Amino acid sequence: MNNKTKSFALGVSVLAVSMSVVAEGPSRLDVASGYSIRNMFGASAQNVAEQIELLSGGELKLKVHEPGELVPPFEILNSVSSGAIPAGWSSIAYFAGTLPIANLYGALPFSPSAEAVFSWTAAGEGRELLQNSMDKYGVKVVPCSFLPQEPGGWFNKEINSIEDFKGLSMRISGLGAKVLNKYGATTQLIPGGEVYLALERGRVDAAEFSIPAVDQSMGLHEIASNYYFPGWQQGAGWLALLINQGVWDSYSETQQARIETACKANIQKEFDEVLPAQIKALQELRDKGVNVKRFPEPVLTELRRGWDEVREEEMRSNPEFKQAYESLMQHSALVDEWYELQQISN
């Protein structure tokens, strides 16, 4: 065999090995989304799918399915865990009933800044702690989308004092619901696709779901006219691509890196674009007659007091939550110190 023949044979051999590595994992990944692709959250999943296909040269394609097409939104984690579906797209906070630390990743009242939350997730202990919890369920979690702090919600009446929450029925997720329960509110977690009907039919008197551009696309301003800030109940967070661990392990390191890279790029894209878009959406909502308001300071003070109680209760009952919360706050203190040093007096 001459040198040219040997080189050709070696090249074919390397290509065959390369193709076999790629072929180990499924070339198409069905993804059950917790959000409609007609709003920003579902569109975000679509963008990730396009980037993964581009980075992989078409070898790996993600098919993003509308909520309920494969499984209901709140069943995504269990379905990915069992292998009933290979992947899902959701807020981690949707699974707080299963994961004690889930609320730290997108549904934490009086949360640190977005910079601190994302720094903790990417460069601190945040992702490792979450993955440790997910390991019990055989699910790989990949942070994949940026969610800024949300508004405080849509209300059919004004909130002038903490007593106005008494008897109020509200759609709200995470630990903020436990805070409002202390003040006599009735709370429930409703999937995004059902929030409009819940408000329209009086199932709830108020609702918080997302950021202005998403809330507007859902038509929530057609039902409730009072839009309150700040979003004390939910600081910055992110959406995740959840992949069955067996499926994830079947991919080569290169394919795994492409998925991670697409998600990181999507986070940066949204970090750059999302906030200005919310101010534009708020102006459009004002033009449609929406009353954009702030909760009175005495109300926020009382809500913070209620949060202090809920937080201590959570830390006593959930060691994983305590460990993760303390880790986040320690990391946040490092970020805060930097900004304090850089602060310029007027």
Residue with tokens 């759609």: 171
Do residues 110 and 176 touch, judged by C-beta distance below 8 A? no
Buried b (16+ CB within 10 A) or exposed e, 101-121: bbbbbbbbbbbbebebbbbbb
Token duo for residue 14: 């390397």
Token duo for residue 198: 């819940």
Determine which helix (DSSP H) or strand (DSSP E) holds 161, and give its type and residue range. none
Binding-site positions for Na(+): 209
Question: DSSP letters of 62-127?
Answer: EEEEPTTTSS-GGGHHHHHHHTSSSEEEEEGGGGTTT-TTGGGGT--TT---HHHHHHHHHHSSHH
Rg (CA), the chain: 22
C-alpha distances (whole Å) from 94 to each of 78, 188, 192 are 12, 12, 11
Contacting residues for 326 by C-beta, under 8 A, at least 6 apart: none
Binding-site positions for substrate: 150, 171, 208, 234
Binding-site positions: 150, 171, 208-209, 234
From the CB of residue 88, how many other CB atoms can be counted at a distance below 10 Å?
29
